[in-house]
Chains A and B, each alone.
Chain A
Amino acid sequence: DAGVIQSPRHEVTEMGQEVTLRCKPISGHDYLFWYRQTMMRGLELLIYFNNNVPIDDSGMPEDRFSAKMPNASFSTLKIQPSEPRDSAVYFCASSPPGLASYEQYFGPGTRLTVT
């Protein structure tokens, strides 16, 4: 398996612009997680889905952030409008069903820089 795929790997954008991050989970995994990692705050869970349904979005910082999972093989995290404080590495992770649902497999991340 190719693992969790994220795109783009790097994104540089200007404040106010819309940013869309993409994720393809591992086939057969029914949990999908979006995390944000910064030096100041460490690794934070933003939102996670189970069977394409958002289960917990309490970590989404503001209404500027939105996430969708239209099908089992694709998810997006959108920031609109972006702000410099959104600069971070955004990780997508997926995990299989059942007891192994905590065994999360992470993608390589998208490094976002908002100037």
Chain B
Amino acid sequence: SQELEQSPQSLIVQEGKNLTINCTSSKTLYGLYWYKQKYGEGLIFLMMLQKGGEEKSHEKITAKLDEKKQQSSLHITASQPSHAGIYLCGADIEETSGSRLTFGEGTQLTVNP
């Protein structure tokens, strides 16, 4: 989706390294959702951000929402091979969209042992 841009498109890191994935919206964000997908499987919900400045953590994954910049970042500390997969951001970018989410194209993460 051009409305949601993720960067980088792919990322290869060595185990133990930190990394950041960004998701930028061309429209106002009313909610931002991070998902992880392994090849051939469905998406797994990671976390939801709804307020500017909000930050949430799940194990070694932290996500922040910068409402002014219409951007969210996902940060993984001390990456492990289990973190490998495709990370997708989904966002509510329409005030009256109800439950409709627009998704980014995903970031493919590879963690080398």
Q: Which of B27-50 contact A (CB under 8 A)?
A: 31, 33, 35, 40-45, 48
> For the complex, is B98 an interface residue (Cβ under 8 Å from A)?
yes
Q: Mark A77-105, 1 if CB is under 8 A from B, else 0.
A: 00000000000000101010000011111
Q: Is the CB of A104 within 8 A of B101?
A: yes
A108-B41 contact given A102-B31, A102-B92, CB 8 Å threshold: yes
Chain A positions 1-20 with a Cβ under 8 Å from a chain B Cβ: 4
- Once the chains are docked, how many angstroms separate the CA of A50 from the CA of B101? 14
Closest Cβ–Cβ distance, residue B96 to chain A (whole Å): 11
Tell me which of B62-70, B76-84, B103-111 binds A: B103-111
Alpha-carbon distance A44/B35, docked complex (angstroms): 14
With both chains docked as a complex, state the minimum distance between the C-beta of A58 and any C-beta of chain B, in angstroms: 9
Any B CB within 8 A of the CB of A45 = yes
Partner of A106, one of B31, B44, B48, B99: B44
Quick check: A42 and B42 within 8 Å, CB to CB? Answer: no
CA A33 – CA B100 in complex, angstroms? 9
Q: Tell me if A25 counts as interface (CB < 8 A to partner B).
A: no
Of all chain B residues, the one with the shortest Cβ separation from A6 is B42
**B108 smallest CB distance to A (angstroms):** 11
* Residues in A lying within 8 Å of B, measured CB to CB: 4, 31, 33, 42-45, 48, 50, 55-56, 91, 93, 95, 101-109, 111
Question: Which 10 residue pairs across A and B have the least CB separation, nearest first?
Answer: A106-B42, A106-B43, A43-B103, A42-B105, A101-B99, A108-B42, A31-B99, A107-B42, A109-B42, A102-B31
* B residues apposed to A, CB below 8 Å: 1, 31, 33, 35, 40-45, 48, 88, 90, 92, 98-106
Q: Given known contacts A45-B100, A48-B99, A109-B40, what 16 new A-B pairs fall within 8 Å (CB)?
A: A31-B99, A42-B104, A43-B43, A43-B88, A43-B103, A44-B103, A56-B100, A93-B42, A102-B48, A103-B45, A103-B48, A104-B45, A106-B35, A106-B44, A108-B41, A109-B42
